[in-house]
Amino acid sequence: FCRVDPYGFERPDDFDYASYEAFFSRYLVVLTRRAIKWSKLLKGSNNIQKSLKVKRYIRKGIPNEHRALIWMIVSGAQTNMEQNPGYYHRLLEEEKNDKLVEAIKTDMNRTFPDNVKFRKTADPCLQHALYNVLVAYGHHNKAVGYCQGMNFIAGYLILITKNEEESFWLLDALIGRILP
């Protein structure tokens, strides 16, 4: 196993690779079976209907390869993004609120310091995507703006979706509807 996990987090020096490998070799069977079920459920489409079966599948865990799509659909973020084409990019083109930008920039270097993808030396460096998502959200929801800790939520969404705009709409779903 690599010193860095698939999401870019460095494993500590005392990480027990032998135990992890023993666990993962058994768990891989479960993950594979789950991935096959999800692939059959999706049948190659980017659409899913909410049902008890889907709820049960979600509770058991969404495979990495389907996670961003399922989160987008189930949260309603996909629908909002499709109903508002270009909105995210228009938010980024607006004149920036200086206080908002200053608050976001204060937390940028604090976001996942042991994640190689958020380091300034990374190519691409996810700090730029994180900045964009947080500034866009701050302008979108002026009542909330930016609050300390949103950087970690948005950063995690970026790691999962690998897409700024999807991360913005998921953040909006989380803060605006799911956890207001």
65 in any annotated domain: no
111 in any annotated domain: yes
Q: Assess whether pLDDT exceeds 90 at residue 96.
A: yes
- Which CATH number does the domain housing residue 114 bear? 1.10.8.270
23 in any annotated domain: no
> pLDDT at position 179, please?
86
> pLDDT at position 33, please?
93
- Residue identified by tokens 């996670």 is 67
pLDDT digits (tens, 9 = 90+) for 125-152: 999 999 999 999 999 999 999 999 999 9
pLDDT tier at 50 (50, 70, 90 boundaries)?
confident
C-alpha distances out from residue 160 to 52, 68, 71, Å = 25, 6, 10
Give how many domains the chain has, as a whole number. Answer: 1
pLDDT tier at 47 (50, 70, 90 boundaries)?
confident
Residue range(s) defining the domain that contains residue 143: 81-176
158 in any annotated domain: yes
165 in any annotated domain: yes
167 in any annotated domain: yes
Helix (H) or strand (E) holding 150: helix 150-161
